[in-house]
A and B are shown apart, each in its own frame.
Chain A
Amino acid sequence: MSQVVFWTGNEVTAEAGIAAGCRFFGGYPITPSSEIAAVMAKRLPMENGIFIQMEDEIAAMGACIGAAMAGAKSMTATSGPGFSLKQEHIGFACMVEAPCVIVNVQRGGPSTGLPTHPAQSDLMQARWGTHGDHAIIALAPAYLRELYLEIIRAFNLSEKFRLPVIVLIDEILGHMSECFEVPEPHEYTIFNRVKTDKSPEEYNPYEVSDGELVPPMANYFEGYRFHATGLNHDKTGFPTTDQVLCQTDEVRKHEKIAQNRAEIDSWEEIMLDDAEVLVIAFGSTARGAQTAVEEVRKDGIRAGLFRPITVWPFPEERVRELAQGKKAVIVAEMNLGQMILEVERVAHSDVKIVGCQKIGGIPIEPYEIVAKIREVG
């Protein structure tokens, strides 16, 4: 019989990481993510894994990348200011194509903000927080069982596509608990990085064969003696300033995602078949949004919910299709308007798009979304 747990979201995150094969956690305490590190500190030594509390979030992220290069599946977790500090090394992980998972338990901001209160205001930072063009994947589950599976998926995607994957939750999900049955190993797959089958003499760390986009990996100390650098590099891994080579390599990294959307994309559609009003919400906010949609349906207002689970890349095409011909689109989010920018970008210009936004640490309550739907519906 499977195990029924009543873990908090932070506990779920840690346990799911271990189930996914995470054997290295580099952390630095920060509310409301600290319990993830605490569980890892307790659990990893039992699993022959490594837990280390570093001197700051930059170092924690650096240690995770070093561990990934040496062959371990690694993870870090943070919030607010810590996520800002990690950005430099998230970019480095993108550049050297190091698989790793970063969990951001979002809290109010900017700066120290509201350490104990939820927000969804790091959505854009998850996409664009580190400097330079880079492609990234970010997942935003809304339920704790889903969180468990999405953490596993985050590891799988990071290993498969060789990039950092961000999991965005928030203080609500991090601290709440929800009874659920822990998914059994047969309910998910575990993907491990593809290793090179070339000899060290033939191996180039960033070379892909025709039609492929993800270079097979070698770990350090396996006889390959390759070089990795945060400078733009060619397939050999050594720096280059050749415009064509630089562009080709960076475009390839974008294409890793662009050409694998079917596998990366994930969303939930609720009562959208006949919907006239489209509500879009992600993470914990989507839970209240679904309540709101169900509530207005009782009064005959045909509303439906679109809930992106993969938030980056943004599900452009699906949102464009769904927005088409709607009376209105409502984007509910715990920030002052971030996902709505994406919706506005992709929806046809004649659709009315309105925000239902709230910050300050109190989640958007269902009645607030109900009111918005009534206003436009």
Chain B
Amino acid sequence: MAFDYTPYLRMSKMPHLWCPGCGIGIVVKSMIRAIDRMGWDKNDIAVVSGIGCTSRAPGYLDMNTLHTTHGRSISFATGIKLVRPEKHVIVIAGDGDMTAIGGNHFIHACRRNIDITCIIVNNNIYGMTGGQYSPTTPRGAKAATAPWGNMDASFNLTDLAIGAGATYVARGQVGNGTQMERFIRDGLSHHGFSVIETLANCHTQYGRRNKLPDPMQLIKDIQEHSVSKSKAEKMNPEEMEGKLIIGELYKNTQRPEFCDEYEKLCQRVQELTKKVEAPV
């Protein structure tokens, strides 16, 4: 039986504003299936986003949703999570949103290892504002603000997340929704800051400028630039050039989680100050 997404969607808000065939839809569907597998009550889930095409997703999700400012969704999500640590907080963001303007918030959330699941839709471009280059636009690719080809170096988002201290990091791609769903589910069940990068097509803004205007063409291109973990292990650096590894890339269940640590701190402080008056 086909999966029924409607219980998780605000059907009255349809049709959505994404271009037909946009990769964001595949990511959102995978995310809904992953949430469904978790068996969570919709009332217990908050979805927070910034600004961009991707960040419009919360508006369509029948949960507690907050559409914030460009790049800064994680800061709001941090406040929500700290006040209600027993609830589930998910952040969804574009590559520009999370790693350009939001880069600082992103690495610090990784460092804190706060129990938030962060899904980054990496379409290698600023979709919403009309195809300007982002921190993940490949060298040489064209963008509205790189008409002669992008000369800027790009981030490897999963390396960035691992380096900054995230404790679950995976990369999926829109050509394989089932696998993506599994990564998101593992991220949701992970107790700590989890990052799931999803390689997605923005054929409208990225594809059109780079001779890949058709969604299927672009998805195929993304797949061609993706290699599985096991394959990657057998490849040399030259062969890996321009390729991204798909899979669960890092998992660490030992590092302390921020809300747990804060809870412990409160207990310790209250124990210590039980009989002591407030400072004068």
Interface residues of A (CB under 8 A from B): 3, 5-6, 15, 24, 26, 42-43, 45-46, 48, 50, 52, 54-56, 58-72, 74, 88-89, 92, 96, 220-231, 238-239
Contacts and interface: CB of A to CB of B under 8 A. Distances in A.
Contact of A63 (B62, B66, B76, B266): B76
A231 B69 CA distance: 9
A45 B270 contact: yes
A221 B78 CA distance: 15
B77 A66 contact: yes
Contacts of B273: 46
A193 B266 CA distance: 26
B82 A24 contact: yes
18 contacts: A26-B79, A43-B279, A46-B269, A56-B104, A59-B78, A61-B75, A62-B78, A65-B68, A66-B76, A66-B80, A66-B83, A67-B79, A67-B82, A69-B79, A70-B83, A89-B69, A224-B64, A230-B68
Contacts of A45: 262, 265-266, 269-270
Contact of A59 (B44, B51, B63, B105): B105
Contact of B270 (A46, A96, A227): A46
B108 A66 contact: no
B43 A231 contact: no
Contacts of A55: 104-105, 108
B64 to A, nearest CB: 4
B67 A67 contact: no
B43 to A, nearest CB: 5
A190 to B, nearest CB: 18
Contacts, number: 143
Contacts of B65: 225-228
A71 B83 contact: yes
Contacts of A69: 66, 76, 79-80
Contact of B69 (A42, A43, A92): A92
B92 interface: no
Contact of A226 (B64, B262, B269): B64
Given A45-B265, A46-B270, A54 B78 contact: yes
Contacts of A231: 67
Given A5-B280, A45-B269, A48-B266, 9 more contacts: A45-B262, A45-B265, A62-B69, A62-B75, A66-B66, A67-B82, A70-B80, A88-B72, A231-B67
A59 B83 contact: no
Contact of B79 (A42, A46, A63, A92): A63
B16 interface: no
A348 to B, nearest CB: 42
A222 B83 CA distance: 13
A184 to B, nearest CB: 14
Closest A-B pairs by Cβ, 4 of them:
A66-B79, A62-B75, A63-B79, A66-B76
Nearest to A224: B64
Contacts of A52: 78, 82, 262
B29 to A, nearest CB: 19
B269 A70 contact: no
Contact of B83 (A15, A24, A61): A24
B247 interface: no
A64 B111 CA distance: 20
Contact of A62 (B42, B46, B79, B82): B79
B187 interface: no
B82 A63 contact: yes
Given A62-B68, A66-B77, A239-B59, A223 B43 contact: yes
Contact of A225 (B51, B64, B75, B266): B64
A58 B42 contact: no
Contacts of B266: 45, 48
B43 A221 contact: yes
B84 A59 contact: no
Given A45-B265, A66-B76, A88-B69, A221 B46 contact: yes
Contacts of B66: 66, 69, 96, 220, 227-229
Given A48-B266, A92-B68, A227-B59, A43 B278 contact: yes
